[in-house]
Amino acid sequence: MGRTFAELGADQDPLFVSVNCKRFEALFRELWIVVSKQLVAHEPRAHALVHAILAELFAARPQRITAPTLVARKSALSENVRKAVNVIEMCYYMNIGLKQIGAHAGTDPFHLSHKFRQESACRRSST
């Protein structure tokens, strides 16, 4: 879990920034009781509680800036290049290098750079 936490940068860019923790915990505790005791008509009540939890999380999401699309037809790209393009689009506002992009795409950075140049019209800048 720690590796995933670090890879996602959850400490630097939390997914939910303004969750009402007391409300969230109360809903979760109530859901736990309803599911564990399985009282009469527990399914609709559990369904409503799950929806309330999801609504709390949805309301606590930070507004994301939509990323520009680098390549019009991603389906024409190889899997590794498509993964790299997705990483670049998701992290366009961050200072990431070829090594990090290669790690996320699961390939060698130099091979990725070569494939990227072959398959797309984009060129990596020397800055």
pLDDT digits (tens, 9 = 90+) for 96-114: 888 888 888 888 888 888 8
What is the extent of the structural domain holding 94? 74-119
Q: Per the structure block, which two tokens stand in for 6?
A: 């670090």
Query: Scanning the structure block, which residue is given the tokens 């899997």?
Result: 79
Q: Per the structure block, which two tokens stand in for 109?
A: 């950075």
Is residue 12 classed as helix, strand or coil in its secondary structure?
coil
Helices (H) and strands (E) in the chain, counts: 6, 0
Task: Quote the pLDDT of residue 23.
Answer: 86
**Domain for residue 69, yes or no?**
no
Exposed/middle/buried for residue 98 (C-beta within 10 Å: 0-12, 13-18, 19+): middle
* Domain stops at, among 13, 36, 59: 59
Q: Are residues 25 and 51 in the same domain?
A: yes
Query: Scanning the structure block, which residue is given the tokens 């190889």?
Result: 78
**Domain for residue 126, yes or no?**
no
Task: Quote the pLDDT of residue 47.
Answer: 92
Query: Could you please report the per-residue DSSP string of 100-119?
Result: HHHHHHTS-HHHHHHHHHHH
Task: Quote the pLDDT of residue 127.
Answer: 43
Q: Are residues 55 and 78 in the same domain?
A: no
Q: Are residues 52 and 88 in the same domain?
A: no
Task: Quote the pLDDT of residue 104.
Answer: 84
Residue 13: how many other CB atoms lie within 10 Å: 13
Q: How many domains does the chain have?
A: 2
**Domain for residue 101, yes or no?**
yes
* Domain stops at, among 33, 59, 85: 59
Flag whether the pTM goes above 0.75. Answer: no
Q: Which residues does the chain have with pLDDT short of 70?
A: 1-17, 62-72, 74-75, 121-127
From residue 57, alpha-carbon distances to 7, 23, 72 in Å are: 22, 11, 32
- Measure the CA–CA gap between 93 and 89, rounded to whole angstroms: 9
Q: Are residues 90 and 49 in the same domain?
A: no
**Domain for residue 65, yes or no?**
no
